[in-house]
Amino acid sequence: EKVMTQSPASLSVSPGERVTLSCRASQSVASNLAWYQQKPGQAPRLLIYDASTRATGVPPRFSGIGSGTEFTLTISSLQSEDFAVYYCQHYNYWPYTFGQGTRLEIK
């Protein structure tokens, strides 16, 4: 099983700031990686798949990059609605696993 490790676990940032979240895989997952956003009381929402492709309706301030074992999600200018928990997930051979999440909090 491939283990996904996200860092940091939490981050306090101010609206308008640029933020970069990291996700590391224990073995290569090629570009088979997705990012999700989850707000309290809601189901997760797909943001990025194939490491860098934005899902339908996702604003361009969200971008993803990486391949192999190192991936990043960047939010170029944080909006109030972006404060949430972010998860990465690989789909490079079953079982598909998720990271433990990074919580973005308002500073």
User: Which residues are near other proteins by CB under 8 A?
Assistant: 32, 34, 36, 43-46, 49-50, 53, 55-56, 87, 89, 91, 94-101
Rounded to a whole number of angstroms, the minimum distance from the CB of residue 38 to other proteins is 9
DSSP string, 27-88: S--TT-EEEEEE-TTS--EEEEETTTEEPTT--TTEEEEEETTEEEEEESS--GGG-SEEEE
Place of tokens 């990043």: 72
- Give the nearer residue to other proteins in terms of CB position, either 37 or 78: 37
Please, what is the minimum distance in Å from the beta carbon of residue 26 to other proteins?
16
Closest CB 46 distance from other proteins, rounded Å: 5
